[in-house]
Amino acid sequence: MSLRLYNSLTRRVEDFQPLDPGRPTMYVCGPTVYNYVHIGNARPYVVFGLLAALLRRRHGAVRYARNVTDVDDKINAAAAAQGVPISTITDRYVAAFREDMAVLGVPAPDVEPTATGHIAQIVVMIGRLIDTGHAYAAEGHVLFSVASFEGYGKLSRRDPDDMLAGARVEVAPYKRDPGDFVLWKPSTGDLPGWDSPWGYGRPGWHIECSAMAEAHLGETIDIHAGGVDLQFPHHENEIAQSECAHGGKPFARYWLHNGMLTFAGAKMSKSLGNIEKIHDLVRAHPPEALRYALLSAHYRQPLEWSDDLIESSVRTLDRLYGTLRDSDVFRALGVLRGHGDPEPQDAAMPGEIEEALDDDLNTPKALAALASIASRARQLRNRLANAADSAQPLQSGIEELANLTAQMRAGGAALGLLQQDPGAWFARGTSEDDDARIQALIEERVAAKRARDFARADAIRDRLAAEGVLLEDTAQGVRWKRT
């Protein structure tokens, strides 16, 4: 079995062969922490977190770095707007980000470096780029000279004019070439800053990833990943910085890019305002269903986010957990009737699921394989149940059923799904957290009614009714009770 990945650098699906088969390395561009992240931001972390887990399984170890961008003009603006120190913003939202990732079942990376924790390495790398003629200082800034790197544009394969348009660079007078990008810029007043050979200032965005990848993973790394929106200019610039700082050594051998999550037809993005924050979504929906929804499309394809997608993911998980629960009950009944309880299987990973993941992380195919194992389990259970009416269920049938549910669990584990107790999945109508979720759905319904989206309002009422939650419109607002 061998993993094949689509490499954006070569535009081909390639066999993945790490430099050190005992420990592949992977770097994923992390979030800029100035607000709650949206569900689109979660896509790379869910998908590439799944890849990290797969590599760990296959190779025994992996070194996975996912950074935190904690110095950025958007952070400065948020701190100024709220009248708080910058660290208040970054501390708050890095904690929120980690919490959001944990509830979505995203494994923590092996290293989570911060830009502010690597200013020394950034300064050294910039110094090296100046010494080798790839960067120059001008008016308190340091700029990377794109003309100095022949390979510039090899990842995004744009011609220089397009690159300029894509980068939306302001043509500052101190730039030798309009495409040159900032490595270091001056800081004044309340802005965060550090002393450097080029004056008091702060790093530009791109250099941090080059410096942190080098510090934690070495000069040449196996996999570099992030959203396709980062391909240009961010990743193109990372390549330029790293390869020039390392005497031309390749920076990343496999470049992976996830497609964009869209919402109401456009890329979900803070600047457009068409976002759904994970922080809010997990209060209204089971987080596992959000994860399922993110894995329901191939990672390189666009994925349109919608209420229907969430609802159908909830229903699919209801069916899968229902199969696990019913099979367990059936097994228990078999035991009561004197059949031996089959030893819990040593979770054999279903071959179809491994093959699907090997095929450039084809999660829709893996989910279809999971559904087909579940369907086999349901059919078998029904057959055994019918047989049980007239005679005792067959021991071998019970064993086969136990084997199928063990496969569902093992396949689910590879996808970060189906690891709860079925009872816990179905009991989501009884915990305190669930009260908050119901309240959030009620508020969403009120907002939908206000926006005259009655179809959505009715869908929410029906969904709650199906869970046994009845809504009552009163003069004081909406009351609810469990039936």
Residue 121 interacts with which of ligand AMP, Zn ion, none, CB < 5 to 8 Å by class: none
| Residue 209 within binding range of Zn ion, rule CB under 5 A | yes
Q: Which is nearer to Zn ion, 29 or 51 (CB)?
A: 29
Among 18, 24, 44, 334, interactor with ligand AMP by CB under 6 A: 44
Minimum distance of ligand AMP from residue 229's CB (angstroms) = 5
Picking from 268, 281, 204, the residue whose alpha carbon sits closest to that of residue 237 is: 204
Residue 209 interacts with which of Zn ion, ligand AMP, none, CB < 5 to 8 Å by class: Zn ion
Say which DSSP state 475 is in. T
| Residue 221 within binding range of ligand AMP, rule CB under 6 A | no
| Residues facing 14 on adjacent strands | 5
| Residues facing 305 on adjacent strands | 263
Minimum distance of Zn ion from residue 158's CB (angstroms) = 18
Residue 442 burial (CB count, 10 A): 20
DSSP H/E element including 466: helix 454-466
φ, ψ (nearest 5 deg) of residue 356: -65, -45
| Residue 227 within binding range of ligand AMP, rule CB under 6 A | yes
Site track for Zn ion across 168-207, x = CB under 5 A = ----------------------------------------
Among 29, 106, 183, 457, interactor with Zn ion by CB under 5 A: 29
Question: Which residue is it, tokens 């209204």?
Answer: 284
Token pair listed for 323: 């199969």
DSSP H/E element including 135: strand 135-138
Contact 178, 169 (CB under 8 A): yes
Residue 53 burial (CB count, 10 A): 19
The strand pair at 63-66 and 25-28 is best described as parallel
Among 40, 192, 397, 416, interactor with ligand AMP by CB under 6 A: 40
Residue 44 interacts with which of Zn ion, ligand AMP, none, CB < 5 to 8 Å by class: ligand AMP
Residue 403 interacts with which of Zn ion, ligand AMP, none, CB < 5 to 8 Å by class: none
Q: Which residues contact 298 (CB under 8 A, 6 or more apart)?
A: 360, 361, 362, 363, 364
DSSP H/E element including 384: helix 363-390
Minimum distance of ligand AMP from residue 425's CB (angstroms) = 27
Residue 216 interacts with which of ligand AMP, Zn ion, none, CB < 5 to 8 Å by class: none
Among 14, 99, 177, 229, interactor with ligand AMP by CB under 6 A: 229
Residue 410 interacts with which of ligand AMP, Zn ion, none, CB < 5 to 8 Å by class: none
| Residue 115 within binding range of ligand AMP, rule CB under 6 A | no
Picking from 329, 371, 331, the residue whose alpha carbon sits closest to that of residue 350 is: 371
| Residue 68 within binding range of ligand AMP, rule CB under 6 A | no
Among 24, 31, 201, 334, interactor with ligand AMP by CB under 6 A: 31
Q: Which is nearer to ligand AMP, 216 or 437 (CB)?
A: 216
| Residue 267 within binding range of ligand AMP, rule CB under 6 A | yes
Minimum distance of ligand AMP from residue 418's CB (angstroms) = 24
For 105: left if phi > 0, alpha if psi spans -120 to 50, otherwise beta; the answer is: left
d(CA 208, CA 34): 17
d(CA 267, CA 261): 6
Number of residues in contact with ligand AMP under rule CB under 6 A: 17
| Residue 269 within binding range of ligand AMP, rule CB under 6 A | yes
d(CA 241, CA 134): 8
Query: Which one of 106-114, 255-263, 366-374, 449-457 is the stretch in contact with ligand AMP (CB under 6 A)?
Result: 255-263
Query: Which one of 41-49, 276-284, 327-335, 459-467 is the stretch in contact with ligand AMP (CB under 6 A)?
Result: 41-49
SS3 183: strand
Q: Which is nearer to ligand AMP, 261 or 320 (CB)?
A: 261
Distances (CA, A) of 18 to 3, 4, 14: 11, 12, 12
Token pair listed for 165: 């348009």
Residue 90 interacts with which of ligand AMP, Zn ion, none, CB < 5 to 8 Å by class: none
Residue 269 interacts with which of ligand AMP, Zn ion, none, CB < 5 to 8 Å by class: ligand AMP
d(CA 343, CA 328): 13
Q: Cis check for the bond before 233: say yes or no (omega within 30 of 0).
A: yes
* Residue nearest ligand AMP, Cβ-based: 227
Token pair listed for 41: 């931001």
| Residue 106 within binding range of ligand AMP, rule CB under 6 A | no
Query: Which one of 17-25, 260-268, 372-380, 471-479 is the stretch in contact with ligand AMP (CB under 6 A)?
Result: 260-268
Residue 229 interacts with which of ligand AMP, Zn ion, none, CB < 5 to 8 Å by class: ligand AMP
Q: Which is nearer to ligand AMP, 43 or 118 (CB)?
A: 43
Q: Which is nearer to Zn ion, 31 or 334 (CB)?
A: 31
| Residue 101 within binding range of ligand AMP, rule CB under 6 A | no
The sign of the torsion formed by the CA atoms of 109, 154, 175, 219 equals positive
Strands (E), 157-208: 181-186, 201-203
Token pair listed for 154: 């090899």
Binding residues (CB under 5 A) for Zn ion: these are 29, 209
Binding residues (CB under 6 A) for ligand AMP: these are 29, 31-32, 40-41, 43-44, 226-227, 229-230, 258, 260-261, 267-269
